[in-house]
Structure 1
Amino acid sequence: MRTLGFLSFGHYQPVRDSRTLAARDALTQTIELAIAAEEIGIGMATVRVHHFARQASTPFPLLVAITTGTHRIEIGTAVIDMRYENPYAMTEQAAVADLISRGRLQLGLSRGSQDVALRGYEAFGQVPAKGMSDSDMAVHHTAEFRRVVAGQPVASTDPTAGPVTGPSVEPYSPVLTERIWWGSSSTRASAAWTAERGVNLMSSALLSEDIGRPLDELQCEQIDTCRKAWRSAGHAYTPRVSVSRSVLPITSDERPTLPVRAGCGDVGEYRAAPQSRRLAQPDPRRPPDRPPSAPGQSSSAGSRVEAGVPPRRTSALSRARCCAGPLRIPRSPHA
């Protein structure tokens, strides 16, 4: 395993027991969490992008804010719904964030999940062409974004303004093209599709191939499929693969006794999770202090990656004011 990261959805809602009552709470706590995560050695801080919901939306201002208080942790998205995006405006924003962060941006893209708004992307000015579905539009936007972010010309020069050369979008951030990911949350076939196009793979905890097998086994097969397709395509660099797990932190003795609010992202939702969202149960014959496989051995079915934070360093998390309080961001020496 190369690195361990976290994903924040940026939920906020003025309800009982919420520690993020408003958008400002969610945004400032995400920044503080990223700073604390870097202190204990976490390698990546990512945010989810949702529109028309009380969650994180446009990601780049938040990611840039994280860079002002951090120096090493990678920043990124998991994922941006490409149905909503203008590829050219997004290229400018992504390049700015990557240059300010000194090359720490990892961009996770995808078709996105079901929206609260009916055809909400149309309100953002993105309307599928005739005969094109919204998923097709997301794929088209992604392909165009990758072309533009690589520095390809996107327009014709006005002859009265200077030499006739096709201008490209500025600023330009070299090698950002190798730090683009595709959120493949559906099938093994989509993992092959991702590899064939030369982007890194994000395998989520929402695999739709629910065939009665544990999540970790399905993910291992998905990763194998991606790596084989990548080798067959002959891409010039080595891909990265990420896997995710849903974690419900128990922060106090009262937390397990709180009422279950099914449908609100609380414990009830996960109790009813299908087999494809659960890990295989550990072998009771295996000693608890031995991992089932060596770290990073995710290329064979059924293998797992286990990681932990040394107990002596967990106190850094308690210094993150993730529940309330003013935002304090230390000055970066790179500023």
Structure 2
Amino acid sequence: MQRFGTLSFGHYGPLGGGHILTAQDSMLQAIDLAQGMDDLGVNGAYFRVHHFARQQSSPMPLLAAIAAKTQRIEVGTGVIDMRYENPLYLAEEAASVDLISEGRLALGVSRGSPETVVRGYEAFGYTGSTDPRGADIAREHFDLFLRAVEGEGLAERDAMSPFGGGSGLQRIEPHSPGLRSRIWWGAGNRDSAEWAGRMGVNLMSSTLLTEDRGLPFDELQAQQIDAFREAWRGAGHAGEPRVSVSRSIFPITTAEDEMYFGSRQDGDGVGYIDGMRSTFGKTYAGAPDALVDQLLADAAVQSADTLMLTIPSQLGVAFNLRIVESFAKHVAPALGWKSTQHAVTA
């Protein structure tokens, strides 16, 4: 494990007891938490994207704000639902954030997760899908997005234009030359992981896999990662791709930790999502030494270079920063991680 960061679902709304977390609260707290993690030397702050829900839905302004207030931390998504996206506008926004952050964007995209509405992407104007889940729209949008990120000319110049004219095809602007290497595909099964490898993009392995072959989740996920890397090499891509996995991990070091997470340790789960039998990863909660042993035995965590901690963002900045700091001090170094700072304060 070379890097770790947080994956926030960005929930807001009623918290119980008459307390409400607003959308503004959620975004401002995300900025504050990222600043605190940057000071600790944590590597990344990543955000889930959901539409028609009380969660983050338009991540680019948030990522730009975090990038402007931090120095080292990677900012990213896990993942943007390509069914909802105008590919060229997303390419412009992504290039802008990548330039503002000086190359710290890790843009995870995919078909997206199950929704709270029926075919919500159609309300955004993207119709005509022949797939009940809109996967064909997501792949079409991704193809055009990738061409735009690569700098391909996509619109014919107007020779009569008072703003430059000329001939040939014009690329979108701004253009960030290194962004192509920082695009990730969120894969929920082996087929999509192999496709990502052939496309030459990094892999964000999902929090669940739409497979059930009687194997523990971590072994199933490690096999998916192996298949991705084999497809990458088979396609002749240069260099080594990055791979991330996400886990719910809670070091228990205080009575408050025990109250929240003491009963959260559980095993893998099997259920149905989008009508497909799926395998879900377990929650890790316990003393730091026990977590180290468990994570060293997690085949996918050992295979990936980046670990994303799913965090209970509704519990506020101080609480989540304490979880992250505890992981950084007591667990992560034993997994091979080194802070981007000179040291993490003992």
Distance 1:247 1:137, change over 3 A: same
The equivalent of 1:226 in structure 2 is 228
Aligned match for 1:246, one of 248, 256, 261: 248
Shift of the alpha carbon at 1:189? 2.2
State the secondary structure of the residue aligned to 2:15.
Answer: coil
Distance 1:73 1:268, change over 3 A: closer
Residue aligning to 1:277: 280
1:213 to 203, 212, 215: 215
Cα separation, 1, equivalents of 2:191 and 2:54: 33
Query: CA 1:131 to 1:219, structure 2 compared with 1: closer, same or farther past 3 Å?
Result: closer
Structure with greater strand percent: 2
For residue 40 of structure 2, what is the amino acid of its counterpart? I
- Evaluate the alpha carbon distance shift between residue 204 and residue 80 of structure 1 in structure 2; reply closer, same or farther with a 3 A threshold: same
Distance across 1 between alignment mates of 2:234 and 2:59: 34
Residue equivalent to 1:197: 199
Aligned partners of 2:6, 2:209: CA distance in 1, in Å? 19
> What is aligned with 1:331?
none
Q: Tell me if structure 1 keeps the 8 A contact 2:205–2:221.
A: yes
More off after superposition, 132-141 vs 87-96 = 132-141
- Residues paired across the two proteins, number: 298
1:1-335 matches, cutoff 5 A: 1-16=1-16, 21-128=21-128, 134-161=134-161, 162-185=165-188, 187-247=189-249, 253=255, 273-274=269-270, 276-278=279-281, 291=293, 320-321=317-318
Q: Once the 2 structures are TM-superposed, how far is the Cα of residue 127 of structure 1 from its aligned partner?
A: 1.6
SS in 2 for 1:78: strand
Look up the match of 1:316: none
Residues 88 and 247 of structure 1: is their aligned pair in 2 closer, same or farther, counting only changes over 3 Å?
same
| Identity value in percent | 46
Unaligned runs of 5+ in 1: 261-266, 282-286, 309-318, 324-335
> Which one scores higher on RCO, CA 8 angstroms, separation ≥ 6?
2
Cα distance change, pair 245–20 in 1 and its aligned pair in 2 (3 A): farther
- TM-score, with length taken from structure 1: 0.78
Question: 1:182 aligns to what SS in structure 2?
Answer: strand
TM-score if structure 2 supplies the norm length? 0.75
Q: What is the deviation of 1:134?
A: 1.3
Aligned residue identity for 2:171 = S
Deviation of 1:123 after TM superposition, in Å, equals 1.5
For the 8 Å contact 1:216–1:303, the answer to whether it is kept is no
Q: Which has the higher helix share?
A: 2
Aligned to 1:264: none
Distance 2:166 2:56 in 1: 42
Q: CA deviation at 1:2?
A: 1.7
Q: How many Å apart are 1:160 and its aligned residue? A: 1.2
Question: How far did residue 25 of structure 1 move?
Answer: 1.2
Following TM superposition, by how much is the alpha carbon of 1:211 offset from its aligned partner in structure 2, in angstroms? Answer: 2.4
